[in-house]
Structure formats: structure tokens, C-alpha cells
């Protein structure tokens, strides 16, 4: 072996002479001269070096990248341990130098391998002339890994083996001109060997390091690896991902350790093939793996039983998954298990009888291919060769995904196999070349079509290999730099010998022609494919398309007002995916694809379509059984419109639906039953629901939600008046209060007995509604203003068999009210049932929540009640207790008002002045935008109404009405208020209360103000069926202005 010192000596005059370099077209002559001097400084036979110089002068003179070749040759020779042997090889076999230079020009990765290990070049050449047997490849790798014990070492062995064998295949393709079809099979044999050996290693490793799961009969579960797409079809290319499906025959599904064992095994296998451990240590990357074909991939599960996988595919598999299994085959593991699984799926893949849903999906796939080829053909005719490297959107053209590209050919062939495979078993082959031949023999394509498709597919495969090896472009993107296009064209044989550059224009023109020919053939085949002649809406096609292009998504969804089409597409996919495991995903997707066009059209009419769609996703996910929901909406357009309106502008109702998934029935009932539930019906329903219940919180929360959903739906559909809507909300609250009172009273009575008066007659709890509750005009989130009275003093009476302890009625009812308030006004798991307002509760003794009727009335009879309390009691209405006692209490309250004690000590004018002052004080606590307490707000109308009732109650108690609008109408009828003023006050009050009611459906943060944000005003307008939000703001402003004007005019008449 030559010493390094000897190598530094120049041989003759070769190193110094640069004459032979002069004719060559180097970009950097200094660098080229430096490389040449290093080569000829080597201690080698002068004759061999002279021969090398002559050969280089000839070869480099006709190469497009002489700088690169001379540099890599210099590194290669300097790294060699036996330069003379290499030079002798170049002399005896002149083709060897040409082959070496061709490798240097083509593959950077292989160049690095050869420079690192120069002796490997002769092995490459010798192996190329030997016969190939896939079994020898498998045996070679098995022998290398046989003694390996650790996964990271196994990853290194596999990584080196893949690099070595990939280099050999690159040599065969780019130097020995192996056909793309044979290259695809050789790469597949390599990948299959790696999968088999790697999987077997992992199985052995886990058996040695962990307890392997056992079946009841003592056997171990069988495992199999199914190869999909190019791996399964034996047509791999450089850098292709290995698409794998993992299955076992059966395990104990309830045993977490068994599931974890196989999940960890697959994870270990993945790390070995991807070289995860080597990457962390040495920065080495391994194979690209794709597990998306696994039936439970979306849940993060990479292995399941063959039974579960078959059931999932047969019941919910889509057309694109059927297309995928055309190329499936067993690549590792138990061949018998894998073959049985694939045999089971054959009737599913190649169906002889196709359902309507299948026809729709197949038609969508067919029309997608036809549409791509037709539109792209028109574009390409007007496109120059230079423009071909970019599409219309400026995106780099990809030879896989371009219209007429490699994937279109493969999809078309699989599509034809899918259509004809049910009747023609001979076309059921995985490899694209074999499939084209089989389809041609079966008469499904013509000789010319088969010949052109085979030829063009091979050319695109060769181009794919060239891109991958030369530029590491494994995705198939064409380079955009002119220099790289020229290099690519040169390697493909398209050369301009005058300029010594690749003919880029000719290359692009030929590629353009290939795409155009493919498009014409595909378009023809798609037009001839079976079809029922019916047109399919673009939205339906979009939902059935397994891989819609971003351009198509944007084109279709942007016309429906979606500002973020990609996000909207994700939402649509979620809507079409069944969330209930035992229901058919296929049926869900089918019905949703049919309803998609009218649904999107309806959503596009909402203020913010994207948010409406996202809200619909939340509702549908909570309801479950999406297929049934879409079937219902497709058959009932009003229900669809209602659902869209709810999702668009009524978050309160959306919350009810998402928190109570079973309420879809109430949603439908609100349309079928053309009326609101009556007070009697709500009361009876709540009684029945609570009958015998040990706990009523969840029952009443659900009851309230159900009622509010029904009321809210009819509200947003404009089917009910404001008064009817408010009354139904009040009736719901009253029913809840009565059920809680009855429940808690029963609990206390079991402990202390039943309350009675001195005569032994039952004493009852009397709940008096005030404010909005008393007037039957609350909104969805109104506080419940109520006071709690009991009909008489006395003691509780022990029940037969009950505890001996008794207590006073006062103590009993205060305990009762305390428990009621805790149950109503305390936030629990389902939130707070209602918020209570008890400003009129007893103000004396601390902690007193309930008082007798006599005590309550005495406050007003003796003149101790404050002015605002007189106003509040004008709206009193008893909502619990027996009918007789309720009527008696209501009459007593009216008498107290009519016989007002303040009339004896204060003139009405003075009292009116106090009311006016109180109103101004409340106004000061509000913002100017507040339409309740602010200027001209609803309090203006309520103060006028209650003041008038107090003024004229002594004339007749018939004017005392707890409802504001009814009171105004009665006052006008009695002549106490001009009719015109009454109508104006009613109109203004209704306008503001209607706005307030709809804001509650929107869950608006500001309870009594119009939203600042424009989109919220648009939602409000949508809810109120008003096209222009400014009209609502104008109506509110006008109502407030009129209210204040009337308020001041009326009070001025009293106080001057």
C-alpha cells in the first residue's frame, strides 16, 4: 500500500500541465486545476494517470457539469486505498470511468457513499451483472441482523442495508438503464425485506423482554402487516412512503396489558424503520412510514383485530378506501391471516351490486377526474413551456398531482378496476402496469390507450426517480431554477451539444405533451364510464371527494360566504363523520352529502356563515346519531332552517342543545305542535317529572331547558307574540318554584310535621311574584323577584309515626325558604337554576326570609312601607298556594293599595315627586346606552304605569294589573291616561323589550345595551328578521326618545 508521503509526489508533468483543461468548459477553472493537480499528485502508475488524463479530456468535453465531476472524482481517488487498481480498471474497461462519472452527475447520495467507500464501486458493477433473487436479498438482511440484540443496533443495520441496496438500484437504473417497471419491483423487494426482517426482529425482541399475551388455548395471537399503495402494488420509487396496515387475529380486548403490548411493538417497529434512535444520536433519518390506511388511525390506534378492521371497512369504508385495497397484499407476518382478511374484503372492494351512496361517490370521483383534465387541457394549450413549471396560482407543478400526472393515471386505472372488477376477476391486480395489460385484455381500454398510458406512466416514474435522486425532491416537485431544469434534461438525454447544456425547452414541451395525452385519454375513459346521467351538486361532490384540492374547496365554499374555506372544510368533514360507534358512518356521510347544497345555501344567508357552521358542528356532535339528523333535515326543510337560525344567532339555545343532547325531540315538537305550552301543561309536566324523585335538581334544570328551547325556537321563527313568549317563560319559572317548594316542604315535614294554624287547618307557603315575574313578562335570563309568605302563625303538627319534634310555623317556613333559595340560587353541576331578587323580603330581624301574610300586609297598612315598595307591590301576583288562598291574598294586596296609608299623610303630588326623584337616581347609575335604567328606558314606562295605578286604585281596583302593557291598556280604558299616550308607551315598551328578549338568546354580555360590535348587531337583526341592523338601533333610539318625552309630560301634569 502506498504511503501518504509518496502520494504527494507529482508524476511527471501531468500535475503541472493545464493544457488539457483549456478546451473544457469549466465554470471555476482555478478549482478545476486544483482538483486535477491533486489527482495527478497521487502515487500511481504514470501510464495509468496519462490514460486517465486522456479519458477525462474526452468525457468532460461532452458533459454538462465538468466542475462537479472532476471534484467528485478527485475526492473518490484520494479516498481510495488502492488507486492503481482503480486506474487499471479504467484502462482495461473504459466504460467503467464513464459509469462512475454518470453516477457522480446523477446521485449526490450515492456519490457520498462511493467517496466514503471507493472499493464499493467494483462491487456495484459486479452485482449488476449477476442474476437477482428476492429471497437472496431477504436472506442477506436476515443474516446481518441475526445476532443483533438491541433495537438501535438493528436500526443501524437496516439503515446501512437500505442505503447499500438503494445505491445498487440507482446504479442499475441510471447506469445500466433498468426499466422503471423493474426498478419499482426491485425497490419493493427491498422495502418488503426490510419490513419483514424488522417486524420479525421486534416480535423476537418483545418475546425476550416482555411477557407475550396468550390466548385461552395457550397460543399466541397471530400478527400480519398489509402493504398498501405502491408497496402493495410492487411499484415503489425512491423516497416513497411505506403505507402499512397492522392486524392481529384476536386478543383479550379488556386486558389493558395486551393492548399496550401490541401498541408498543408497533411503536418499536416504527422507531427502527424510521431510525428515530439513530437520528437522536447521529442525525440519520430512515424510511418514511404512512399508517393512515389503518381503520382506527383517527383514534390513534395503529393495530386492531382483523375482525374489527373488516367490520369497519365493510360498514363505513369509503370509495377511496376501496381503491386503496386494490393494491393491498401481505408483506410480513402471518400470511394465512392476511390472505383471509383480504379475501374477506374482496366483495366489499369489487361490489357487483352498488348502492345509491356508492354510485354518488363513484360519480363524484369520475367527475373530479374529468373536470381536472378538461379544465387543465384548456389552460395548458395557452401555456408556454417555460410556464409549465408553475400552475395558474404560481404553485410549483408536481408530476404526481398535476392534471394528467402520475396519480391521475393510477387513479383512473384503479377506478376502472373498481367498476369492472366485480364481473371481471382477471382485472383484480395491484401493479399499475399489470392492471393496464389486464384491462386491455378485458376490453376495458383500447390497445392504443393501454400503450400510451403504460409508456407515459413509465416516463413519469423515470422522471420521479431522477428528481428524487438528483435533487432529493421525493414529493415530485419540478425544480424552478433554469440550471436544474437543464441538468435534469441532460440526464434524461435531451442535450444541446453546442452549448453542452440540457435542452430545457424540449424537456418541458415533452412533459407538457405527456400531460395533455394523459388528460385526453382519462377524459375519454371517464366519459365512457357508467353513469346514470344525473347531475351532482358541487357541494355533494366536495363532501364525497376523499382528497379535494385546496382550490376546489375555496371555489365552492367561498361562494357560500366562508372566509376561511379550509377551516370550514374541516367542519364539514366533522359533520359528515358519525360519532356514535355502532351507527353507520357510510349512511351518515351519504345523507350529509345530499343535504350539503341546501344546508350551505341556508348557512350562507346568516350574518357569519363560518361561525354558524362551527356552531352546527358543536350541536351535531352533542346530539349524536348524525345520520338520523341529516335524514330528518333532508326530509323537513323548515327544521333545517330552524337549526341554522339557532346555530347562527342563538348561542343560548345552542348551549341548551349541547348540554342536553336528548332534546332533539323538543326541537322537532316545537315545529309540529303549533302552539306554546300552556301554564297548566307546564305545571302538570313538572309534577309528573318530579313524582317520586329522590332528587329534583337535574330534573328541573332539564325541564327548564326543554321549555326554554321550545319557547326560544318559536320566538326566533316569529311564531309567537312578545307577550305570549314572556308569559311562557314566566309559567316555566313558576312551575319550577312550586316543585321546589313542594319538595322541600315534604322533606321538612318528615322532620317537624305539617304546619297548621291554631284551629288545626293547614298553613300554606304563599310565593308572591313581583317585577317581571309578577307581571308575567320576564326574559330568558331575568331575575326572579319574589317574596315568601305563609298564611298563618301556629305550630307544626307531628305526623303519625314521625319524629316527636315540632317547631313554630315561623321557624318552619324560614327553614323552608332558606332551603329553597339554596336550591334555586346556588350554582351546582348544571349551573344556577334561577337568580333570585328578594328586595321586598322582611327587613327587620336578621336571617328572616319568610313572614306571615298578616305581617306583610301590616307594613303597608301602618304606613311604614317606602315609596319604592308601594311601586313594587303594584305588580304583585301570588303564584303558589291553594286557589282560594291565592285569590284571597291577591285581593288583600289590592285593597291595601286602594286604601293606601300614604294618602292620609302625604299628598299625591308629593309622592309623585318622590317617584320622579327616584327615577332620576336610578338613571344616574346607568350608562347612556342602557335601555332599562337609562333615559327613556323601560323604567320610564314602568314608573308612569305604577304611579298611575297608585293614584287611581282608590277609585277602582280593576286598574291594578301586574302586567305593564295590560295596566296601560286598562288605565286608558278607565280614562286615567289618554289613549294616544297609552299606545305610544306600549309601542315603545314592546320595542325595547323585544330587543332585550332577543339579546338574551344571543347571550349578550351587556344585559340592557345594544352591542358595540357590528357582527353582533347583524346577528340581532337576523334574529329579529330585520335586514338592516341600523333600523333596530333607530327603532330603539326612537322608542327611548318617545318614552322620555311622555314620562316628562305625564309627571309634569302632577308635580308642575
Quickly state the pLDDT bin for 123 (edges 50, 70, 90): confident
For the segment 443-476, what is each residue's pLDDT rounded down to a tens digit?
888 999 999 999 999 999 999 999 999 988 888 8
Residue 946 contacts residue 903 (beta carbons within 8 Å):
no
pLDDT at 250 over 90: no
What cell was used for 637?
326543510
pLDDT score recorded for residue 362: 61
Quickly state the pLDDT bin for 366 (edges 50, 70, 90): low
pLDDT at 728 over 60: yes
Q: What is the DSSP string of 112-176?
A: HHHHH-TTHHHHHHHHHTS---HHHHHHHHHHHHTT--SHHHHHHHHHHHHHHHHHHHHHHHHTS
pLDDT at 659 over 50: yes
**What number is the average pLDDT over the span 884-900?**
93
pLDDT at 387 over 50: no
pLDDT score recorded for residue 296: 87
For the segment 662-700, what is each residue's pLDDT rounded down to a tens digit?
777 776 766 666 788 899 999 999 999 999 999 999 999
pLDDT score recorded for residue 277: 64
- Taking each continuous run of H as one helix and of E as one strand, the counts in the chain are 47, 14
**Which residues are CB-neighbours of 166 under 8 A, at least 6 positions away?**
187, 190, 238
User: Could you tell me the CA-to-CA distances from 842 to 267, 361, 572, 755, 859 in Å, in that order?
Assistant: 70, 71, 57, 20, 10
Find cell 415503489 and name the residue: 236
pLDDT at 627 over 90: no
Find cell 377524459 and name the residue: 523
Element (H, E) at 304: strand 303-305
Quickly state the pLDDT bin for 10 (edges 50, 70, 90): very low
787 phi and psi angles, rounded to 5 deg? -120, 155
pLDDT at 173 over 70: yes
The SS3 call for residue 543 is helix
At the topology level of CATH, where does 537-649 sit?
A: 1.20.120
Element (H, E) at 872: helix 867-873
Element (H, E) at 441: helix 432-441
Residue 205 contacts residue 487 (beta carbons within 8 Å):
no
For the segment 731-782, what is each residue's pLDDT rounded down to a tens digit?
999 999 999 999 999 999 999 999 999 999 999 999 999 999 999 999 999 9
Beta bridge partners of 304: 247
pLDDT at 394 over 80: no
Residue 708 contacts residue 656 (beta carbons within 8 Å):
yes
Question: 242-248 and 223-227: which strand pairing?
Answer: antiparallel
Spatial separation of the C-alpha atoms in residues 289 and 141, rounded to whole Å: 20
Angle of the 697-716 helix axis to the 637-649 helix axis, nearest 10 = 110
Q: In the chain, where are the structural domains located? A: 4-128, 147-169+177-196+211-349, 356-536, 537-649, 721-901, 906-1055
Quickly state the pLDDT bin for 637 (edges 50, 70, 90): confident
Spatial separation of the C-alpha atoms in residues 554 and 793, rounded to whole Å: 74
Spatial separation of the C-alpha atoms in residues 839 and 174, rounded to whole Å: 92
The SS3 call for residue 532 is coil
Q: How does the average pLDDT of the chain come out, rounded?
A: 87
Percentage of the chain lying above the pLDDT 70 cut: 89
The SS3 call for residue 770 is coil
**Which residues are CB-neighbours of 827 under 8 A, at least 6 positions away?**
none
147-169+177-196+211-349 placed in CATH 3.40.1440.10: no
For the segment 30-39, what is each residue's pLDDT rounded down to a tens digit?
999 999 989 9
pLDDT at 299 over 90: no
Residue 894 contacts residue 957 (beta carbons within 8 Å):
yes
What cell was used for 279?
437520528
Q: Higher-confidence residue: 170 or 864?
A: 170
**Which residues are CB-neighbours of 70 under 8 A, at least 6 positions away?**
26, 32, 35, 36, 56, 60
pLDDT at 710 over 60: yes
What cell was used for 511?
412533459
**Secondary structure of 149-166 in the HEC alphabet?**
CCHHHHHHHHHHHHHHHH
Q: Higher-confidence residue: 776 or 522?
A: 776
pLDDT score recorded for residue 527: 60
**What number is the average pLDDT over the span 1002-1020?**
89
pLDDT at 383 over 70: no
Ranking 26-35, 328-337, 498-507, 529-538 by mean pLDDT, the lowest is: 529-538
737 phi and psi angles, rounded to 5 deg? -60, -40
pLDDT score recorded for residue 254: 80
Contacts 24+ apart (CB under 8 A), 280-286: 281/152, 284/159, 286/155, 286/158, 286/159, 286/162
Residue 702 contacts residue 690 (beta carbons within 8 Å):
no
∠ CA(722), CA(725), CA(726), 5° rounding?
85
What radius of gyration, in Å, describes the C-alpha atoms of the chain?
A: 43
- Residue 244 DSSP class: E
Count CB atoms within 10 A of the CB of residue 927. 10
pLDDT score recorded for residue 223: 95
pLDDT score recorded for residue 17: 55
Q: What architecture is the 4-128 domain classified under in CATH?
A: Up-down Bundle (1.20)
Q: Higher-confidence residue: 811 or 385?
A: 811
**What number is the average pLDDT over the span 287-295?**
91
At the topology level of CATH, where does 356-536 sit?
A: 1.20.120
Ranking 244-253, 344-353, 531-540 by mean pLDDT, the lowest is: 531-540
pLDDT score recorded for residue 386: 44
Closest of 568, 592, 565 to residue 578, by C-alpha: 592
Spatial separation of the C-alpha atoms in residues 226 and 293, rounded to whole Å: 10
pLDDT score recorded for residue 2: 44
Does 906-1055 match 356-536 at the fold level?
Answer: yes
**CATH number for the domain formed by residue range(s) 721-901:** 3.30.460.10
**What number is the average pLDDT over the span 96-120?**
91
The most confident of 248-257, 671-680, 927-936, by mean pLDDT: 927-936
pLDDT at 533 over 60: no
For the segment 41-97, what is each residue's pLDDT rounded down to a tens digit?
888 888 888 899 899 989 898 888 899 999 999 999 999 989 999 999 999 999 999
For the segment 258-285, what is each residue's pLDDT rounded down to a tens digit?
889 999 999 999 999 998 765 544 545 6
pLDDT score recorded for residue 988: 96
pLDDT score recorded for residue 847: 62
For the segment 841-860, what is each residue's pLDDT rounded down to a tens digit?
665 555 688 999 999 999 88
Spatial separation of the C-alpha atoms in residues 420 and 860, rounded to whole Å: 92
**What number is the average pLDDT over the span 239-250?**
93
Quickly state the pLDDT bin for 708 (edges 50, 70, 90): very high
Spatial separation of the C-alpha atoms in residues 811 and 803, rounded to whole Å: 17
pLDDT at 395 over 60: no
pLDDT score recorded for residue 699: 93
pLDDT score recorded for residue 22: 82
Can you say whether residue 827 is alpha, beta or left, with left for phi > 0 and alpha for psi between -120 and 50 degrees? beta
For the segment 587-602, what is each residue's pLDDT rounded down to a tens digit?
787 788 889 999 999 9
Spatial separation of the C-alpha atoms in residues 893 and 421, rounded to whole Å: 87
Alpha helices for 636-758 (secondary structure H):
637-649, 651-659, 664-672, 679-690, 697-716, 722-752
pLDDT at 152 over 60: yes
CATH of the structural domain 906-1055, one choice from 3.40.50.2300, 1.20.120.330, 1.10.101.10, 2.40.33.20 = 1.20.120.330
Amino acid at each position: 500500500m502506498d504511503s501518504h508521503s509518496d502520494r504527494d509526489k507529482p508524476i511527471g508533468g501531468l500535475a503541472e500541465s493545464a493544457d488539457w483543461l483549456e478546451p473544457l468548459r469549466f465554470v471555476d477553472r482555478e478549482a478545476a486545476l486544483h482538483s486535477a493537480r491533486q489527482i495527478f499528485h497521487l502515487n500511481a502508475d504514470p501510464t495509468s494517470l496519462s490514460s486517465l488524463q486522456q479519458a477525462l479530456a474526452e468525457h468532460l468535453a461532452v458533459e454538462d457539469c465538468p466542475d462537479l465531476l472532476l471534484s467528485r472524482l478527485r475526492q473518490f481517488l484520494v479516498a481510495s486505498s488502492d488507486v492503481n487498481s482503480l486506474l487499471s480498471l479504467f484502462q482495461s474497461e473504459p466504460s467503467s470511468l464513464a459509469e462512475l462519472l454518470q453516477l457522480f452527475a446523477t446521485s449526490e447520495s450515492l456519490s457520498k457513499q462511493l467517496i466514503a467507500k471507493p472499493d464499493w464501486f467494483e462491487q456495484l458493477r459486479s452485482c449488476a451483472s449477476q442474476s437477482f433473487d428476492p429471497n437472496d436479498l431477504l436472506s442477506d438482511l436476515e443474516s446481518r441482523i441475526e445476532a443483533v440484540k438491541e433495537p438501535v443496533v438493528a436500526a443501524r443495520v437496516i439503515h446501512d442495508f437500505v442505503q447499500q441496496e438503494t445505491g445498487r438500484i440507482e446504479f442499475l437504473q441510471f447506469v445500466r438503464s433498468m426499466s422503471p417497471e423493474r426498478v419499482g419491483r426491485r425497490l419493493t423487494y427491498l422495502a418488503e425485506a426490510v419490513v419483514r426482517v424488522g417486524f420479525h426482529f421486534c416480535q423476537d425482541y418483545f418475546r425476550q423482554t416482555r411477557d407475550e399475551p396468550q390466548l385461552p388455548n395457550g397460543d399466541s395471537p397471530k400478527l400480519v402487516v398489509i402493504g398498501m399503495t405502491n408497496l402493495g402494488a410492487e411499484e415503489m420509487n425512491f423516497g416513497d412512503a411505506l403505507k402499512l396496515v397492522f392486524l392481529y387475529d384476536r386478543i383479550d380486548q379488556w386486558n389493558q396489558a395486551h393492548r399496550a403490548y401490541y401498541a408498543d411493538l408497533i411503536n418499536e417497529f416504527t422507531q427502527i424503520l424510521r431510525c428515530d434512535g439513530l437520528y437522536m444520536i447521529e442525525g440519520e433519518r430512515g424510511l418514511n412510514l404512512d399508517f393512515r390506511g389503518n381503520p382506527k388511525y383517527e383514534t390513534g390506534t395503529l393495530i386492531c383485530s382483523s375482525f374489527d378492521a373488516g367490520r369497519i371497512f365493510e360498514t363505513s369504508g369509503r370509495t377511496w378506501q376501496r381503491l386503496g385495497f386494490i393494491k393491498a397484499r401481505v408483506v410480513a407476518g402471518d400470511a394465512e391471516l392476511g390472505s383471509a382478511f383480504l379475501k374477506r374484503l374482496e366483495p366489499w372492494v369489487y361490489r357487483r351490486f352498488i348502492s345509491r351512496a356508492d354510485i354518488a361517490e363513484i360519480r363524484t370521483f369520475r367527475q373530479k377526474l374529468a373536470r381536472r383534465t378538461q379544465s387543465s387541457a384548456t389552460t395548458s394549450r395557452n401555456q408556454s413551456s417555460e410556464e409549465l413549471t408553475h400552475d395558474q396560482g404560481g404553485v410549483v407543478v408536481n408530476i404526481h398531482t398535476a392534471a394528467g400526472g402520475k396519480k391521475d393515471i393510477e387513479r383512473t386505472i384503479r377506478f376502472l378496476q373498481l367498476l369492472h372488477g366485480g364481473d371481471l376477476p382477471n382485472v383484480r391486480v395491484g401493479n399499475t402496469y399489470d392492471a393496464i395489460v389486464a384491462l386491455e385484455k378485458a376490453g376495458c381500454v383500447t390497445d392504443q390507450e393501454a400503450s400510451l398510458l403504460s409508456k407515459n406512466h413509465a416516463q413519469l416514474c423515470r422522471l420521479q426517480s431522477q428528481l428524487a435522486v438528483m435533487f432529493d425532491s421525493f414529493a415530485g416537485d419540478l425544480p424552478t431554477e433554469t440550471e436544474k431544469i437543464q441538468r435534469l434534461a441532460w440526464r434524461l438525454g435531451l442535450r444541446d451539444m453546442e452549448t453542452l447544456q440540457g435542452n430545457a425547452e424540449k424537456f418541458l414541451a415533452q412533459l407538457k405533451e405527456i400531460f395533455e395525452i394523459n388528460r385526453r385519454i382519462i377524459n375519454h375513459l371517464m366519459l365512457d364510464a357508467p353513469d346514470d346521467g344525473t347531475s351532482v351538486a358541487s357541494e355533494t361532490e366536495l363532501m364525497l371527494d376523499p382528497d379535494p384540492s385546496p382550490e376546489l374547496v375555496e371555489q365552492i365554499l367561498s361562494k357560500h360566504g366562508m372566509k376561511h374555506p379550509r377551516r370550514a372544510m374541516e367542519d364539514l368533514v366533522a359533520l359528515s363523520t358519525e360519532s356514535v360507534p355502532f351507527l353507520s358512518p357510510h349512511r351518515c356521510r351519504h345523507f350529509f352529502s345530499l343535504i350539503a347544497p341546501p344546508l350551505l345555501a341556508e348557512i350562507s344567508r346568516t350574518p357569519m356563515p363560518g361561525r354558524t357552521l362551527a356552531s352546527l358542528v358543536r350541536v351535531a356532535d352533542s346530539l349524536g346519531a348524525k345520520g338520523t339528523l341529516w335524514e330528518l333535515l333532508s326530509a323537513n326543510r323548515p327544521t333545517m332552517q330552524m337549526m341554522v337560525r339557532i346555530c347562527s344567532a342563538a348561542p343560548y339555545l345552542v348551549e341548551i342543545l349541547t348540554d342536553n343532547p336528548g332534546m332533539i325531540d323538543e326541537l322537532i315538537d316545537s315545529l309540529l305542535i303549533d302552539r306554546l305550552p300552556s301554564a297548566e301543561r307546564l305545571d302538570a309536566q313538572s309534577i309528573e317529572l318530579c313524582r317520586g324523585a329522590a332528587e329534583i335538581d337535574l330534573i328541573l334544570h332539564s325541564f327548564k331547558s326543554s321549555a326554554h328551547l321550545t319557547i326560544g325556537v318559536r320566538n326566533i321563527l316569529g311564531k309567537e307574540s312578545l307577550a305570549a313568549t314572556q308569559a311562557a317563560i314566566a309559567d316555566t319559572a313558576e312551575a319550577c318554584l312550586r316543585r321546589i317548594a313542594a319538595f322541600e316542604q315534604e322533606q321538612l315535614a318528615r322532620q317537624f310535621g305539617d304546619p297548621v294554624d291554631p284551629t288545626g287547618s293547614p298553613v300554606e307557603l304563599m310565593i308572591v311574584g313581583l317585577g317581571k315575574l309578577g307581571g308575567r313578562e320576564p326574559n330568558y335570563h331575568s331575575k326572579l323577584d319574589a317574596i315568601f309568605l305563609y298564611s298563618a302563625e301556629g305550630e307544626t303538627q307531628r305526623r303519625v309515626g314521625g319524629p316527636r319534634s315540632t317547631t313554630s310555623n315561623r321557624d318552619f317556613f324560614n327553614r323552608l325558604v332558606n332551603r329553597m333559595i339554596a336550591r334555586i340560587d346556588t350554582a351546582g353541576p348544571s349551573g344556577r337554576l334561577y337568580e333570585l331578587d328578594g328586595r321586598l323580603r322582611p327587613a327587620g330581624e336578621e336571617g328572616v326570609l319568610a313572614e306571615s301574610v298578616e305581617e306583610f300586609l301590616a307594613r303597608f297598612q301602618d304606613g311604614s312601607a317606602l315609596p319604592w315598595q308601594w311601586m313594587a307591590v303594584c305588580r304583585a301576583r301570588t303564584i303558589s298556594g291553594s286557589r282560594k288562598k291565592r285569590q284571597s291574598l291577591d285581593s288583600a294586596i289590592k285593597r291595601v293599595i286602594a286604601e293606601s296609608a300614604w294618602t292620609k299623610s302625604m299628598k299625591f303630588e308629593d309622592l309623585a315627586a318622590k317617584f320622579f326623584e327616584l327615577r332620576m337616581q336610578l338613571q344616574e347609575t346607568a350608562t347612556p346606552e342602557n335601555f332599562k335604567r337609562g333615559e327613556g328606558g323601560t323604567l320610564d314606562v314602568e314608573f308612569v304605569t305604577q304611579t298611575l295605578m297608585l293614584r287611581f286604585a282608590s277609585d277602582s281596583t280593576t286598574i291594578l294589573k301586574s302586567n305593564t302593557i295590560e295596566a296601560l291598556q286598562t288605565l286608558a280604558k278607565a280614562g286615567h291616561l289618554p289613549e294616544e299616550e297609552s299606545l305610544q308607551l306600549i309601542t315603545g315598551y314592546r320595542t325595547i323589550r323585544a330587543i332585550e328578549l332577543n339579546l338574551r338568546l344571543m347571550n349578550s354580555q351587556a344585559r340592557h345595551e345594544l352591542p358595540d360590535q357590528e357582527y353582533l348587531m347583524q346577528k340581532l337583526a337576523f334574529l329579529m328578521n330585520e335586514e338592516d341592523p341600523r333600523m333596530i338601533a333607530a327603532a330603539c333610539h326612537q322608542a327611548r326618545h318617545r318614552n322620555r318625552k311622555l314620562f316628562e309630560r305625564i309627571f309634569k301634569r302632577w308635580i308642575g
